Amino acid sequence: MQIRVQKTTHSRLGSVDFSDLPFGKIKSDHMFVVDYSNGQWHDARIVPFEDLMLSPANSALHYGQAIFEGMKAQVDEQGTALIFRPDQNIKRLNLSADRMCMPNLPEDLFLKGLKQLIQLDIDWIPSGEGKSLYIRPFMFATDDSVGVKVSESYMFIIFTSPVSPYYSKPLKIKVADKYVRAFDGGVGSAKAAGNYGASMLPTKEAYAQGYHQVMWMDGHEFKYVEETGTTNVFFVIGDKILTPALDGNILDGVTRKSCIALLKEEGATVEEKRVDINEIIEAYKNGELKDAFCTGTAASVVHIELFNYKGQDIVLPPVAERKWSNFLHNKLDAIKGGKSSDTHDWIVEVVNENIGVSA
C-alpha cells in the first residue's frame, strides 16, 4: 500500500524545551494514519499531528474497542534512529486486536509507516540520559452508531512524543488486596484501553497512601503476583530470579522477554512460574530477597524500593547492591542506544526511508 505524505508547514520543534520533557505531554510534528472499512485497510498517510473529528456516537468511546502499544526510539552516535523490537509490538497489537474483535494490521504496513514517520520526525528524538522518543501506536473503532456490536470501521494511528524516563526514582508499591486487574478468560493479556481505565481508582487510592503503583495479584486468592499497572515484575531470591509466568492475565512484555534473554545469556537462573507472595515474604524474612524490579517500555528497568503487603513494608536492599536490575538497566540502555552490539537483532535502524514520495 502506498503511504501518502503531507509534511507540516508549521513545525513546533523550535518551541520545545528538550531539557524538560514531562512524559507524554509533547507531541512530535507528524502522525501515521490508516483507515479500515469494508473489510480492508486503506488511505495510509503521514500527516501533521492534529485533533481528530469524531462522532459523539463513536463506538470506541461507548463500547471500548480500543487497543494500543508503546515503543521507544533513540539515536546512536552517528545520528541514525534506532527502534527497539517493533516486530514484537505489532505482533502483540494484533493479538490484542484478535481478543477485542478488531482487524489485524499488516505487519509490513506497520513497519513501513513507522519507519517513515520516525525518519521524518528524527529531529524530535531527544538525546541525553534516559531520554527517548516514545512511540504510541493505537487502534480504535470508528462506527458512529450506538448499540453493542462489533464495529465495522477502525482507525490506526501512530504518533510520537519526546520523553524523559517515566519513573524518576525507585518505586513504592502497594500489593493489591481488594481490586483485581484481570481474571481468567478476561482481557488481561491484551493491551486494551479498558484495562487501564479499570486500574485508575485502585492506583489513585494507592497513590493517596504514598505508593507509586499497585502490584496486581491473582483474582482467586490474592496470593500469586501478576504485574504492576504499567510493568512486569521480577524478584531475586538468593541466586534465583523469579517472574510471573504468562498465564493469560498479564501482558507479554517486550522488556520482560528481553530481560529474560539477557539474564539467561549471563548464566542467571530465571524461573517463569506462579510467584507466591508468601515465598517472597519468607525470603525477605530470611534475608534472601536481594532485589525486586519492574520492567516496561516506558519505565525501562526500575528498582522497587519497597512493597507493602497487608500493612507490612517489605524494604529492598540499597540500589547499589542490586546486581541484576543494575545489569539489565545498563545493558538494555546500551543496546537501545546503539552503544552495545545488537547480537539479538532487536534493533531496527531507520535508514534511507523514502519520504515525500509515495513508496
Ligand X SMILES: Cc1ncc(COP(=O)(O)O)c(C=O)c1O
Binding site for ligand X (CB under 6 A): 70, 227, 229-232, 251, 253-256, 295-297
For ligand X, give the closer residue by CB, 296 or 337: 296
Let me know the angle formed at the C-alpha of 137 by 2 and 213, rounded to the nearest 5 degrees.
175
How many Å apart are CA 87 and CA 95, to the nearest integer?
13
Which among 342, 341, 288, 333 has a CA at the least distance from the CA of 314?
Answer: 288
For ligand X, give the closer residue by CB, 29 or 227: 227
**Shortest CB 303 distance to ligand X, Å:** 16
**Shortest CB 226 distance to ligand X, Å:** 9
The answer to whether 91 and 69 have CB atoms below 8 angstroms apart is no
Q: Give the Å distances, CA to CA, from 304 to 84, 173, 244.
A: 24, 7, 16
For ligand X, give the closer residue by CB, 74 or 232: 232
**Shortest CB 232 distance to ligand X, Å:** 5
**Shortest CB 256 distance to ligand X, Å:** 6
How many Å apart are CA 228 and CA 292, to the nearest integer?
12
**Shortest CB 166 distance to ligand X, Å:** 10
For ligand X, give the closer residue by CB, 30 or 212: 212
For ligand X, give the closer residue by CB, 185 or 287: 185
**Shortest CB 346 distance to ligand X, Å:** 12
**Torsion sign, CA atoms 171, 174, 175, 180:** negative
Let me know the angle formed at the C-alpha of 338 by 111 and 344, rounded to the nearest 5 degrees.
65
Which among 178, 270, 282, 279 has a CA at the least distance from the CA of 232?
Answer: 270
What is the 8-class DSSP label of residue 263? Answer: H
For ligand X, give the closer residue by CB, 65 or 213: 213
| Terminal C-alpha separation, the chain | 8
**Shortest CB 355 distance to ligand X, Å:** 27
For ligand X, give the closer residue by CB, 103 or 229: 229
Q: What share of the chain is helix, strand, coil (3-state, %, to 5)?
A: 25, 30, 45
